[in-house]
Amino acid sequence: MRKRGTQPKTSGGAAPARRAADAADRSDSFPIVGIGASAGGLEAFASLLSNVPADPGVAFVLVQHLDPKHESLLTEILPRSTTMPVSEVTEGVRVKPNHVYVIPPNKDLAISRGILHLMPRTYTRRQHMPVDVFLRSLAEDQKNKAIGVVLSGTASDGVLGLKAIKAEGGITLAQDESSAKYSGMPRSAAAAGVVDFVLPPEDIARELGRIGRHPYLTSPKAATSEGLLPESGGSLTKIFTLLRGAFGTDFTHYKDTTIRRIYVRHLRDNPGEVEALYHDILINVTSFLRDSSTFEALKSIVFPAIVDNRPSKTPIRIWVPGCATGEEAYSITICLLEFLSARRLTVPVQIFGTDVSQSAIERARAGRYPENITLDVSPDRLQRFFVRVEGGEYQISRSVRDLCVFAQHDLIKDPPFSRLDLISCRNLLIGLLMLGTSETVGNYTRHFHLLDKKSKIYERKETTARSRLDMALAQGASGSTIPADKKLGGRIKPEFDPLKEADRIVQSKYAPAGVLISDEMEVLQFRGHTSTYLEPAPGAPSLNLMKMAREGLLPELRAAMRQARKEGGPARREAVRIKVNSRTRTINLEVYSIRGPRQADRFF
């Protein structure tokens, strides 16, 4: 065992090469701190810089509200508080650790791949929000390595930016009100529930110094959220990696139960840690009209499908589980009202927003949001669907709030809402399903028909695994199927249909064997004795017809399916030779296409 402080022997060029590699890794993995401030922010930022430890290992980018017609003196004043280089941002400069970058006047600032870009300031009647503009781009570019800080200032610039950073797993801080000359900006951020630490500037500086050296942010392999997933060694592997990076001690073979017991005891003895863990897991982060193309797809695809051939008095029912603070539910409501107005339709509307967080639900019910929602909401929509209230905030108008019901709801424990036309979590389905741009239905494509690929909008297919199960459970001894509306309280109401019984006898005695399948080749019903032609494939259970076809049947079956799908009529193959139990049989094969009432309903 080597003694602490001793180094292994290396060849002459190995150590410099390793140090160069380490430096290169570190240069690509340092955190970037975006700091937003307005009135009173200069004093706060100077105090922060004067308390930052030497060589903090992070880069600082200051976005200050500046007079667009006057030159900034920040690059002359701030060097008095720090030994780090302070420079005004120029187009295309690459961010480096232990440097301070200051936004120039009359510009907006963004970052992409670690390079700062200047944009002309846009002049509108809306409040200028340069802090949100930069912090949002920082979140998108740096993901969990982004750090956002909001210091003294009026109004609410920075709230949306901190939300974006929290959504990416980054870290957020705000100045406490007692030390802020103007508390509007940090107070708005804290009230939005997206701030990890509320501290005076000098304590923010020390926290940034600690965070900047943490392996979670400085390790290249830990830089992405995927890197936090456990390797094959179990769920604590990443924790051991962080401990080894911070202290040099390897706990990989330490008892898992001991580590878990230590943390459980820490949670039990520190109620504040339990609350912090709860909110970190939830991350109630959302925004208005997120992914605008998705809402355009709602108007062009989903809403027409909902209202067409609909009785005028039947309410449109939409559920938004995981609604957080309500922006998604209100966004859908706004788009639906615009759609109905354009078509001059009067239809009852019921929007349900649910979330496990009671505090989020209370904020959703109030419907009050900071003025920087103007970055996402157009002036026309602000005028039509919002009212300006005290403190400069916007509140959803009463006519819209009256259509929305918000309630605390746990998807894991509580039963789902029923009789729904659309569910947008974007997460769960009974009617139409709208997912996020990075989400899919995974292995359940047989249950859903894709309506819009770009916006990830799906429609439930009429025949699903559950309907097959219901049909099987509803079979009487005679084999007749009892309609679902005859099943009361989980018990089947007996009903005899002589016509269906006659059909069953004819099919079993005289009709050829066959299967009813979906457009994805999933078997929905076996008709007659099919074991001569089909058999379960080895491995995981599957009802895919192509996996069940006996030897010799598959090529002709594929060809007939292609023809039936293309032409829409019957496709026939004669003298098909198949192998059954070491014997060869000759059969005829026919495929018929069956169209349902909707475009998505197609069977064979």
Q: Is 112 a catalytic residue?
A: no
Which structure tokens are listed for 422? 């659309």
- CA 344, CA 340: separation in Å to the nearest integer? 6
pLDDT score, position 261: 74
The DSSP result for 567-598, as a single string, is HSS-EEEEEEEEEETTEEEEEEEEE--EE-SS
Catalytic residue among 29, 47, 65, 447: 65
pLDDT score, position 432: 61
pLDDT score, position 284: 54
pLDDT at 26 over 50: no
Q: Which of 437, 431, 432 lies closest to 456, judged by CA?
A: 437
Q: In sequence order, which residues have a C-beta less than 8 Å from that of residue 54 and are 6 or more positions away?
A: 83
- pLDDT digit string, tens, across residues 540-581: 778 889 888 888 899 999 999 999 988 888 999 999 999 888
pTM exceeds 0.85, yes or no: no
pLDDT score, position 11: 36
Q: Which of 317-321, 494-498, 527-531 has the lowest mean pLDDT?
A: 494-498
Which structure tokens are listed for 395? 């509140």
Highest mean pLDDT pick, 164-168, 454-458, 505-509 = 164-168
Which structure tokens are listed for 333? 């409501």
Q: Mean pLDDT in the chain?
A: 79
The DSSP result for 22-75, as a single string, is HHHHHHTS--EEEEEE-TTHHHHHHHHHHTSPSS-S-EEEEEE---TTS---HH
- pLDDT digit string, tens, across residues 573-588: 999 999 888 888 899 9
- pLDDT digit string, tens, across residues 38-51: 999 999 999 999 99
pLDDT score, position 488: 37
First to last CA, the chain: 71
**Is the CB of residue 591 less than 8 Å from the CB of residue 546?**
no
pLDDT score, position 96: 95
- CA 473, CA 446: separation in Å to the nearest integer? 21
Q: Is 355 a catalytic residue?
A: no
Catalytic residue among 29, 38, 331, 357: 38
- Give the pLDDT band of residue 461 (cuts 50, 70, 90): low
pLDDT score, position 252: 67
Instruction: Name the percent of the chain in helix, strand, coil, to the closest 5.
Output: 40, 20, 40
Catalytic residue among 108, 141, 157, 196: 157
pLDDT at 490 over 50: no
pLDDT score, position 104: 95
Share of the chain above pLDDT 70, in %: 75
What is the identity of the amino acid at 521?
M
- Give the pLDDT band of residue 246 (cuts 50, 70, 90): low
- CA 603, CA 580: separation in Å to the nearest integer? 27
Which letter does DSSP use for residue 300 in this model? Answer: I
**Is the CB of residue 446 less than 8 Å from the CB of residue 600?**
no
pLDDT score, position 602: 82
Q: Is 65 a catalytic residue?
A: yes
Q: 597 or 127: which carries more pLDDT confidence? A: 127
Q: 71 or 13: which carries more pLDDT confidence? A: 71
**Is the CB of residue 146 less than 8 Å from the CB of residue 114?**
no
Q: Which of 104, 75, 105, 73 lies closest to 89, judged by CA?
A: 104
- Give the pLDDT band of residue 212 (cuts 50, 70, 90): confident
- pLDDT digit string, tens, across residues 172-190: 999 999 999 999 999 999 9
